Amino acid sequence: MKKARYLVPGDYMADPAVHVFNDRLYIYPSHDWESGIPENDNGDHFNMKDYHVFSLDEIDGEVTDHGVVLEVKDIPWAGRQLWDCDVACKNGKYYMYFPLKDKTDIFRIGVAVSDRPEGPFVPMPDPIRGSYSIDPAIVEENGEYYMYFGGLWGGQLQRYRNNKALECAILPEGEEPALCGKIVKLSENMLEFAEEPHDVLILDKNGKPLTADDTKRRFFEASWMHQYKGKYYYSYSTGDTHLLCYATGDNPYGPFTYQGVILTPVVGWTTHHAIVEFKGKWYLFHHDCVPSNGKTWLRSLKVVELEYLPDGSIKTIAGRED
């Protein structure tokens, strides 16, 4: 396996969403800035105020920075913190979905639109009605578009049950069922939810839902979906145990059966990724904190080739290369 490559050595980018548009690879990351805020479990030190778009026509080729394509100051309902985003294309329009804290410090998911994959993107005046939490990831299936989302702790998913806000956040414990990521179908105009969000259920090999104390397998954040040989691969981060894992199913809604680890812990706290096929090979895009000497809020983009075994399982990649 080739060594992972740093893609933007001159800046701190993280949480990549990656897609192939018009035979070119486009990367939509979050942008880390030094905030001066002490690190905490709510992620207040992540001072992300804009998005760049990057592209390349060969995996080892030159990376083009298309510059700033959306900023917090341009979003009417904005409070702070543009965390990770994703982009989908429909009928020649490009839709960027982004989590952002509103003026009451609650994460909502907004939409911005462009005529080009490299932006710039123009935000809608309000967030998506009924949206909450973080980490939107979009998948298209037979002309329909679905969003996966959700993240614990700073991602605020524990503040909701059945898509309704709680008076107080509740995290399951012990053998209680783990909190699930969410999936929701998007409307025809790509600007709204077409239904109530559903749980993305992850099962063990015996068909039982993963429990809250199963911290090396249960969902924490960073949903991503891709297909390989007719199977749906739902991948995600376990958060505080620092693994990227995956589960497989037969449709976008699941349920999904846990299969294994894609990436072992990297240098730094967070692990967030994208998986994409490009010119006949598969790649894992992710980040670590090596260039910033391990500061978890200053992360750097990486890419490494992904390998499948004959049975369809994914060969585990070592997060630390030392």
* Residue 42 C-beta-side C-alpha neighbours within 13 Å: 11
Q: Please say if 118 is a catalytic residue.
A: no
- For residue 7 the two structure tokens come to 């893609």
**Catalytic choice (11, 15, 57, 321):** 15
141 contacts 148 by C-beta, under 8 angstroms: no
| 124, 13 contact by CB (below 8 A) | no
Q: CB-based burial of residue 251 (10 Å sphere; 0-12 exposed, 13-18 middle, 19+ buried)? A: exposed
Distance (Å, rounded) from C-alpha 129 to C-alpha 135? 16
**Bridge partners of residue 100, in order along the sequence:** 82, 108
**Token duo for residue 294:** 């391990």
221 is known as an active-site residue: yes
Integer Cα distance of 68 and 118 in angstroms: 10
Say which residue the tokens 């059966």 belong to: 257
How many secondary structure helices (H) and strands (E) does the chain include?
0, 24
Which tokens hold the place of 153? Answer: 């702790």
| Annotated catalytic residue, options 141, 221, 240, 311 | 221
**Which of 222, 227, 217 lies closest to 286, judged by CA?**
222
What are the φ/ψ torsions at residue 241 (nearest 5 degrees)?
-105, 0
DSSP state of 39: P
Q: Tokens for 173?
A: 């414990």
Rounded Cα distance, 51 and 72, in Å: 9
Residue 184 bridge partners (DSSP)? 147
Report the candidate in 158, 180, 181 with the shortest Cα–Cα distance to residue 168: 158
> Which residues carry out catalysis?
15, 221
